[in-house]
Chain A
Amino acid sequence: MAYSNKVIDHYENPRNVGSFDKDDASVATGMVGAPACGDVMKLQIKVSADGIIEDAKFKTYGCGSAIASSSLVTEWVKGKSLDEAQQIKNTDIAQELALPPVKIHCSILAEDAIKAAIADYKQKHGG
């Protein structure tokens, strides 16, 4: 399959790969997986006291499109409020990376990962 240049760029130079200490109170973690292809994605956000995402990291085991989708999302969420980050849609990710229809589920995975991380943060901080 032919990957778009943007996918290849994120795949070869993934941004923000790694982990934060999950026990840090300002850190929240989203874990999601896609049974159909066995991809596993971890997306972490570091949130400031006033609710702004200061930093984000990811670790993804999966195809190029899954890695590119999570890499892109970590770039997008930095500097955003939790509510703004919540608005990220998989269609925006798919469009930005020019994902073909068979790879749309990778962008869904990335959207679900950031939503899971936000949910984890809200749960950690009581609502």
Chain B
Amino acid sequence: MNYFQLFNLPAKFDLDLTELGSRYLKLQKQFHPDQHSSGSERDKLLAVQHTANINDAYHSLKQPLLRAEHLLALRGLKISHEQRSFTDPLFLMQQMELREQLAEIDQSDDPDSVIDSIDEQLQQQKKVLQHQLADALDAETAEQDQLAADLIRKLKFFYKLQQELELIEQQLQD
């Protein structure tokens, strides 16, 4: 299913999220199972199915990484369920170092400022990667699509680091 078509939006990474939100609400209202309560069993079932699709589509387009994955899938490059290991040694070395920094936060005299500085680093790196991802997806060539897939993989590591950092921050507060 083409999620962009469902919302009648252009299949681009750079998406108007406000527009997506309002189209989502409109469609959801239109296909809400309550609207079809007087219909046949088959109509009701279809409405439920369609509502589920609309929800899936909305959540996939709203989140940048899922949106990028969906765009690539539409172009025939499916990476969302891949189990292949990522092997870029320099990138992984940097990830390892960031993980080590996270692990040492609780030994610091001023954990809050360490958290802030790591957070700033992560945001900065994410921004750069996301920018590169947008450019690669815009090119719409097979080569740039492969690059985009790699950028998505890298961004996933950064999202995970961000989660870990938030977890550490919570634990320190408790």
> Which residues in A have some Cβ–Cβ distance to B below 8 Å?
29, 31-38, 40, 42, 59, 61, 104-105, 108-109, 112-113, 116
- Given A59-B96, A61-B96, residue A33 in contact with residue B157 (CB < 8 A): yes
Ordered by A's residue number, 19 sampled pairs between the chains whose C-beta atoms are within 8 Å are: A32-B87, A33-B85, A33-B86, A33-B87, A33-B92, A34-B83, A35-B153, A35-B154, A35-B157, A36-B83, A37-B160, A38-B160, A38-B163, A40-B95, A40-B96, A104-B83, A105-B83, A108-B83, A109-B85
A39, closest chain B residue (CB)? B160
Number of A-B residue pairs at CB separation under 8 A: 59
B10 at the interface (CB under 8 A from A): no
A112, closest chain B residue (CB)? B85
Q: Please, how many angstroms separate the alpha-carbon atoms of A112 and B92 in the complex?
A: 14
Whether A38 lies near B159 (C-beta < 8 A) is: yes
Q: Please, how many angstroms separate the alpha-carbon atoms of A61 and B86 in the complex?
A: 14
Which residues of chain B have C-beta atoms less than 8 A from A32's C-beta?
85-87, 92
CB of A11, distance to nearest CB on chain B (Å): 16
Which residues of chain A have C-beta atoms less than 8 A from B87's C-beta?
31-33, 112, 116
Give how many B residues have a beta carbon under 8 Å from the other chain's beta carbons.
Answer: 23
> Which residues in B have some Cβ–Cβ distance to A below 8 Å?
82-83, 85-87, 89, 91-93, 95-96, 99, 103, 152-154, 156-157, 159-161, 163-164
- Given A32-B85, A32-B86, A105-B83, residue A42 in contact with residue B156 (CB < 8 A): no
Q: Please, how many angstroms separate the alpha-carbon atoms of A31 and B89 in the complex?
A: 6
